[in-house]
């Protein structure tokens, strides 16, 4: 990281940023073209879970190339100024690199969806088989994670 004074190295602080974030941005590589899509997500341990429709471009790409990057933005604010070059921003973010997998195992799909729902509600929902079978679940195994803060 170029600006080391902005690095967030404390794992609890990184988890705090992730816990506050309403969305993540999943970056994929479709041959020589980048593809980035916002997703709802849940995070536990070293694993991120997201859900989506049962078919679509992101799943097609993951099947061909599962190497991914995830960007998560916590709090952010643009700070205006009288002069254009004096504008600034305050933010906190997390970058994750790893591999994405389409979850086939029903028990793991339930686990991932419960982690996702807990991220947004802090509740443990019961999920029916029809609910679970209606969506695809993506698991991201985290290989590296970094945080950055300018607040």
CATH architecture of 4-150: Roll (2.30)
pLDDT tens-digit profile of 13-57? 999 999 999 999 999 999 889 999 999 999 999 999 999 999 999
Q: What percent of the chain has pLDDT over 90?
A: 74
Place of tokens 């988890």: 15
The token duo for 29 is 């590589």
What is d(CA 13, CA 36) in angstroms, rounded to the nearest whole number? 25
Domain boundaries, the chain: 4-150
Write down the H helix ranges in 1-140: 11-20, 57-64, 106-121, 129-133
What is d(CA 135, CA 118) in angstroms, rounded to the nearest whole number? 17
Q: For the chain, how far is it from start to end, CA to CA, in angstroms?
A: 17
């Amino acid at each position: 990281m170029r600006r080391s004074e902005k690095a967030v190295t404390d794992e609890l602080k990184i988890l705090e940023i992730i816990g506050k974030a309403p969305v993540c941005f999943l970056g994929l590589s479709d041959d020589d073209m980048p593809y980035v899509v916002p997703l709802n997500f849940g995070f536990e341990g070293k694993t991120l879970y997201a859900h989506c429709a049962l078919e679509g471009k992101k799943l097609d790409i993951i099947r061909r190339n599962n190497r991914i990057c995830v960007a998560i933005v916590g709090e952010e604010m643009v700070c205006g100024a009288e002069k254009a070059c004096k504008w600034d921003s305050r933010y906190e973010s997390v970058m994750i690199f790893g591999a994405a997998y389409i979850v086939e195992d029903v028990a793991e799909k339930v686990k991932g969806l419960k982690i996702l729902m807990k991220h947004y509600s802090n509740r443990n929902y019961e999920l029916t088989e029809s609910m679970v079978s209606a969506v695809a679940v993506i698991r991201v195994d985290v290989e590296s994670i970094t945080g950055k803060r300018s607040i």
